[in-house]
């Protein structure tokens, strides 16, 4: 714009909030600035916008309610700006008229428009320079620090100018002297004037519209949030680019190991983790990790292995946009992991899905927008991988993480892990496998199997000191010593003769050295011994133990009573006031959870437990005592010992951890080998239990169309751990002989067939149902027969028949019926139910005879002692029992337990009625719900069993929760047990939506003994579950509305017949 016009200073106003002192700008009226001069300063003629903006101080962030242009800077507040624009435009028009008159005068004096000078430069015929745009004077330099709308406005102006100049260059030529007429010159000048005026008007109008839109546009989203999201998106983008171009020399992938800073902030906020251990940083920066090669890393218990895996999972989900599978050995660990990662999923926008027990969808929901983390038990992970292979979606699985990889050597479950990983290795070259393992003696075999590198470290966050106790002497474990033991100290505790008899191993002396100030775990060889030791310790504790956190222990007892519907275990009622409890499978899942939470929070200071605690949830202690070097009657393995003593030492709390193994003199030599020997080797279990694992593997490979011939089977098996270790494991017959033997077995069972022409292996319908239902091969034909019989006379006015059909076969061996109780419960059945029982092979007369026989046992014993018992009567009695299947009888007994449980939903009263431990009843219930899910998938593959689909779907749901219907939506949330669900329901949180929208602070105040952290995890889990259900419905809607890619087009008329 010309220097003679009023100067309009254009000021960029950023989304930062300024102090009111800084609002005194060039556009602020003088009376507002406090000055008396009402005239605007004139802008120098050639000053550029960037130089004006350079003088303006950076502004602070503005809030959402503040106008984009500040206060008095706003166009809406200072309407004189538009008037000034109009004045400037009018002035330019006047200059156009004067310039036109000047040009006409020059033309009359032999006008020459443009002529090159001697030096080749172009000269203009006037002093003032006019352009087609009022912004051309700003030059081609880029604007500095402009808002997006103004940048877009300038780009549009530049584009219009370029297009106009191009058009004019094609249509006009340079006029020469005496070649144009007077009319032509007038018409040319008139056109130029109109063009300039039109350009200025369009630019001015656009400037007005743009600035008004900037000022008046509402802002519904916080600009701070938008900026933060932009930063996270940019960091993710940078990390993705870095991962694509990573080389062996590159270790730095981004601000937090290839992840946005937000992940690091969440680690601090949700986990309290500020910095990683040195070994964790080293492991994450390994070349093999950066290049996405498979990795096995081994560290002692409590070394922080899981955090590394979680960071790699987050990187796969966020940076590579791939799904992940996290395999854990136990349902409790799966639920704990789901709770812990739900908050990350909500913050970082990915799904966390639970695959444990009866939970999990096969195949998983295919999501277009979000990625999923599947947290699964060993068995569910295998079924999940099978479903992904069947639907050609395995390549969507970017990472598989296996916790406790050394469980490859653990019987049938180890065989399932091997099958799962072998399929991933064979079918997907893009899926990375990460294994976390205890230190193993033959780790190289596992490396060969997984084509993986190995990272090993002996780091522990807390130093561990191992001791053994022999008589009243404590020895420190020292492998450098000749006998591995070095004298440490004598026990200094005064025992009375009575105490010495009750506690010859001095357990009371050992535990009172640390409790109640510190925590202690006492591992016992049997469940009964756990309860006895806890009761024994309480007898000799001082009264001061009762005062320690007394109110919180009273709350715990009340919660235990609520979980048992008014019943409390007598042992716990006696031990909890002293801060002690026992922990084993005899407790219900709700009791275990309450005990674990109380121990973690310090309300309980000592747990007596079995070895299963060491392999389950992480409950560390200052001191760990091993009551005996035995588990039941079996001597401890080195791996079991290391798992137990590894619980000693709590990171961030203790400076040292101690373990004490109590020995008898007879066990000293074996104990020396136990504490000082190298770790055991890990071997394939595909040949375990007469090759059940390899048989199941062959069936699933044929069913999934992975292999269809013996040669392809051999090719696949070359990628298994069994092949790596075949010299040790296949000494009697070769691996290929075993394979052919198992193929023949599957043909005999009618699970596969062989085509006569091409010798192609194909799965039968029964075979497909078997592997898709994850049904044990030894039970598949029995299950098919039972279901077929069930269809002939299925009892629908009671669920007893269905419950019998889904009672797990592998629980039958653990059942020893009390015949009097059996008969009493049998007589309570309806006539239709008794008829059904007889149909499956359990007549009333048989149960009555058995009950009568049990009642007369004492009488027979007395008669035998008196020489009055006739052996013939016994033979006659047993002969009448011939033809009755005892497995069916025991299975019906278990079905009656489940049937009573579904009717009453009170586990305690049912356990008492059948004289069973409540822990066994709990295990039976959870096993039945899982098996019911398997039977459901089994029947879905066989058309003749179509009626079972709807019936078993609802039964699975009822067995999974076994509570009143109104509590089921709340119990679907991970971590919410029955008593907690009742508390939530009674407090007004009656649905999943209520819980997902709850305030954790309000929730923790409303629900008794619910800590803030627990409340936050429950709310996060509820939100994740709600999102998962909503996403599944949305995916279904999108699928329905998507136009098929193979939609037929209109046929050609020539093709019509």
CA distance 531 to 595: 14
CA distance 104 to 180: 13
Tell me what pLDDT residue 565 has: 84
What whole-number percentage of the chain has pLDDT above 90? 49
Tell me what pLDDT residue 214 has: 56
pLDDT at 143 over 50: no
pLDDT at 833 over 90: yes
Q: Which residue has the higher pLDDT, 362 or 59?
A: 362
Q: Which residue has the higher pLDDT, 51 or 896?
A: 896
Confidence of residue 4 (pLDDT cuts 50, 70, 90): very low
Counting DSSP H helices and E strands in the chain, the numbers are 46, 21
Quickly list H helices, 430-549: 443-450, 497-502, 507-512, 527-539, 544-547
pLDDT at 457 over 50: yes
Residues 166-184 as b or e (16 or more Cβ within 10 Å = b): eeeeeeeeebeeeebeeee
pLDDT at 905 over 90: no
pLDDT at 823 over 90: yes
Tell me what pLDDT residue 1056 has: 47
pLDDT at 66 over 80: no
Cα–Cα–Cα angle for 379, 380, 384, nearest 5°?
A: 125
pLDDT at 741 over 60: yes
- For 419-457, give the DSSP string: HHHHHHHHH-SS-EEEEEE---TTHHHHHHHHTEEEEE-
Question: Which of 451-460, 480-489, 503-512, 812-821 has the lowest average pLDDT?
Answer: 480-489
pLDDT at 183 over 70: no
Tell me what pLDDT residue 696 has: 96
Tell me what pLDDT residue 81 has: 54
Give me the mean pLDDT over the 335-357 stretch: 93
pLDDT digits (tens, 9 = 90+) for 197-256: 444 455 556 655 655 555 555 545 556 666 666 666 766 666 666 555 543 333 334 578
Question: Which of 141-155, 405-419, 577-591, 921-935 has the lowest average pLDDT?
Answer: 141-155
Confidence of residue 557 (pLDDT cuts 50, 70, 90): very high
Confidence of residue 943 (pLDDT cuts 50, 70, 90): very high
Cα–Cα–Cα angle for 508, 514, 518, nearest 5°?
A: 135
pLDDT digits (tens, 9 = 90+) for 762-772: 999 999 999 99
Tell me what pLDDT residue 45 has: 42
Tell me what pLDDT residue 297 has: 94
Is residue 375 helix, strand or coil?
strand
Tell me what pLDDT residue 102 has: 56
Residue 934, C-beta contacts closer than 8 angstroms, at least 6 positions apart: 773, 774, 775
Question: Which of 457-471, 521-535, 925-939, 1037-1051 has the lowest average pLDDT?
Answer: 1037-1051
pLDDT digits (tens, 9 = 90+) for 272-330: 888 999 999 999 999 999 999 999 999 887 788 999 999 999 999 999 999 999 999 99
CA distance 772 to 384: 10
pLDDT at 566 over 50: yes
CA distance 143 to 10: 11
pLDDT digits (tens, 9 = 90+) for 650-676: 777 778 899 999 999 999 999 998 998
- Taking a C-beta distance cutoff of 8 angstroms, is the pair 506, 664 a contact? no
pLDDT at 683 over 50: yes
pLDDT at 26 over 50: no
Considering the chain, what is the average pLDDT of its residues?
A: 80
pLDDT at 579 over 90: yes
Question: Which of 139-143, 709-713, 719-723 has the lowest average pLDDT?
Answer: 139-143
pLDDT digits (tens, 9 = 90+) for 380-429: 999 999 999 999 999 999 999 999 999 999 889 999 999 999 999 999 99
Tell me what pLDDT residue 235 has: 65
> In sequence order, what are the beta bridge partners of 470?
473, 663
Nearest to 142 by CA among 48, 69, 210, 211: 48
- Taking a C-beta distance cutoff of 8 angstroms, is the pair 203, 137 a contact? no
CA atoms within 13 A on the CB side of 986: 9
Q: What is the chain's alpha carbon radius of gyration, rounded to the nearest angstrom?
A: 40
Confidence of residue 481 (pLDDT cuts 50, 70, 90): confident
For residue 326, report the phi and psi dihedrals to the nearest 5 degrees. Answer: -115, 115
pLDDT at 189 over 60: no
Tell me what pLDDT residue 733 has: 86
Confidence of residue 620 (pLDDT cuts 50, 70, 90): confident
């Amino acid at each position: 714009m010309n220097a003679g016009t009023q100067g309009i200073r254009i000021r960029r106003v950023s989304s930062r909030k300024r102090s009111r002192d800084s609002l005194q700008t060039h556009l602020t009226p003088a009376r507002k600035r406090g000055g008396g001069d009402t005239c605007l300063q004139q802008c120098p003629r050639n000053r550029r916008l960037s130089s004006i903006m350079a003088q303006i101080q950076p502004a602070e962030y503005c809030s959402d309610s503040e106008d984009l242009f500040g206060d008095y800077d706003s166009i809406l507040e200072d309407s004189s700006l538009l008037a000034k624009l109009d004045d400037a435009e009018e002035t330019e028009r006047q200059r156009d008229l004067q310039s036109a008159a000047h040009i006409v005068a020059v033309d009359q004096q032999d006008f020459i428009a443009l002529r090159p000078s001697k030096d080749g430069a172009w000269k203009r015929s006037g002093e003032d320079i006019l352009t087609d745009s009022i912004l051309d004077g700003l030059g081609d330099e880029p604007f500095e620090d402009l808002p997006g709308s103004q940048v877009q406005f300038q780009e549009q102006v530049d584009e219009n100018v370029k297009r106009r100049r191009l058009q004019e260059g094609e249509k006009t030529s340079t006029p020469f002297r005496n070649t144009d007429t007077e009319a032509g010159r007038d018409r040319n000048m008139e056109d130029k004037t109109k063009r300039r005026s039109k350009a200025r008007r369009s630019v001015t109008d656009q400037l007005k519209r743009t600035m008004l839109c900037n000022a008046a546009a509402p802002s519904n989203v916080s600009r701070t949030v938008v900026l933060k999201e932009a930063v996270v998106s940019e960091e993710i983008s940078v990390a993705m680019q870095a991962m694509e171009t990573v080389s062996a020399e590159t270790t730095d992938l981004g601000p937090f190991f290839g992840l946005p800073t937000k992940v690091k902030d969440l680690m601090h906020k949700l986990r309290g983790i500020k910095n990683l251990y040195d070994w964790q940083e080293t492991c994450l920066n390994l070349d093999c990790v950066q290049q996405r090669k498979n990795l096995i890393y081994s560290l002692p218990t409590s070394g922080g292995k899981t955090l590394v895996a979680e960071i790699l999972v987050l990187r796969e989900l966020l940076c590579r946009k791939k799904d992940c599978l996290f395999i854990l050995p136990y349902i409790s660990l799966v639920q704990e992991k789901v709770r812990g990662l739900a908050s990350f999923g909500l913050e970082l926008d990915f799904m966390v899905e639970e695959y444990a027990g009866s939970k999990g969808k096969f195949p998983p929901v295919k999501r277009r927008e979000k990625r999923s983390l599947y947290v699964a038990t060993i068995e569910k992970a295998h079924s999940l991988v099978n479903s992904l292979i069947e639907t050609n979606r395995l390549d969507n699985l970017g990472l598989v993480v296996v916790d406790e990889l050394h469980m490859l050597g653990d019987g049938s479950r180890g065989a399932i892990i091997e099958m799962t990983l072998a399929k991933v290795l064979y079918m997907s070259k893009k899926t990375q496998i990460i294994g976390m393992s205890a230190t193993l003696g033959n780790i190289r075999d596992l490396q060969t199997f997984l084509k993986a590198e190995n990272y090993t470290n002996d780091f522990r966050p807390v130093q561990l000191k191992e001791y053994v106790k022999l008589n009243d002497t404590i020895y420190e474990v020292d492998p450098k010593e000749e006998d591995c033991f070095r004298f440490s100290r004598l026990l200094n505790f005064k025992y009375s003769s009575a105490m010495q008899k009750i506690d010859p191993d001095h357990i009371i002396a050992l535990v009172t050295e640390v409790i109640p100030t510190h925590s202690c775990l006492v591992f016992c060889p049997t469940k009964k011994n756990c309860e006895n030791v806890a009761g024994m310790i309480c007898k000799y504790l001082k009264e001061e133990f009762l005062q320690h956190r007394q109110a919180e222990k009273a709350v715990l007892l009340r919660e235990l009573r609520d979980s048992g519907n008014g019943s409390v275990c007598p042992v716990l009622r006696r031990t909890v006031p002293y801060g002690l409890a026992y922990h084993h499978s005899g407790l219900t899942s709700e009791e275990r959870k309450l005990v674990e939470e109380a121990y973690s929070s310090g309300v309980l200071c000592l747990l007596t437990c079995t070895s299963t605690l060491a392999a389950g949830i992480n409950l560390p202690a200052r001191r760990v005592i091993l009551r005996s070097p035995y588990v039941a009657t079996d001597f401890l393995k080195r791996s079991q010992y290391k798992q137990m003593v590894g619980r000693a030492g709590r990171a961030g709390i203790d400076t040292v951890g101690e373990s004490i193994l109590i020995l008898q003199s007879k066990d000293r030599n074996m104990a020396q080998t136990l504490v000082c020997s190298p770790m055991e080797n890990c071997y394939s279990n595909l040949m375990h239990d007469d090759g059940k694992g390899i048989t199941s593997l062959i069936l699933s490979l044929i069913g999934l169309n992975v292999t269809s011939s013996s040669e392809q089977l051999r090719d696949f098996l070359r990628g298994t751990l069994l092949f790596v270790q075949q010299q040790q494991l296949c000494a009697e017959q070769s691996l290929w002989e075993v394979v052919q033997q198992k193929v023949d077995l599957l043909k005999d069972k009618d699970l596969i067939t062989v085509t006569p022409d091409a010798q192609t292996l194909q799965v039968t319908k029964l075979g497909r149902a078997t592997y898709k239902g994850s049904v044990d091969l030894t039970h598949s034909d029995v299950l098919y027969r039972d279901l077929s019989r069930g269809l002939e006379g299925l009892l629908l006015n009671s669920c007893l028949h269905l419950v019998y059909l889904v009672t797990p076969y592998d629980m039958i061996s653990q059942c020893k019926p009390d015949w009097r109780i059996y008969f009493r419960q049998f007589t309570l059945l309806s006539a239709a139910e008794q008829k059904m029982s007889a149909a499956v092979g359990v007549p009333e007369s048989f149960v009555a005879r058995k009950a009568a026989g049990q009642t007369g046992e004492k009488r027979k014993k007395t008669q035998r002692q008196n020489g009055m018992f006739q052996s013939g009567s016994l033979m006659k009695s047993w002969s009448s029992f011939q033809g009755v299947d005892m497995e069916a009888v025991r299975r019906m007994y278990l079905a009656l337990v489940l049937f009573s449980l579904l009717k009453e939903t009170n586990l305690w009263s049912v356990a008492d009625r059948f004289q069973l431990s409540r822990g066994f009843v709990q295990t039976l219930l959870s096993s039945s719900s899982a098996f019911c899910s398997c039977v459901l998938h089994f029947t879905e593959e066989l058309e003749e069993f179509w009626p079972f689909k709807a019936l078993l779907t609802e039964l699975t749901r009822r067995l999974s929760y076994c509570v009143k219907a109104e509590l089921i939506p709340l119990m679907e949330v991970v971590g919410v047990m029955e008593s907690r669900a009742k508390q939530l329901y009674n407090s007004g949180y009656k649905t999943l939506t209520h819980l997902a929208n709850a305030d954790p602070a309000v929730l923790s105040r409303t629900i008794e003994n619910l800590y803030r952290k627990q409340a936050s995890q429950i709310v996060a889990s509820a939100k994740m579950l709600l999102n998962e259900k909503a996403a599944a419905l949305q995916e279904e809607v999108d699928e329905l509305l998507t136009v098929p890619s193979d939609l037929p087009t209109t046929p050609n008329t020539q093709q019509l017949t």
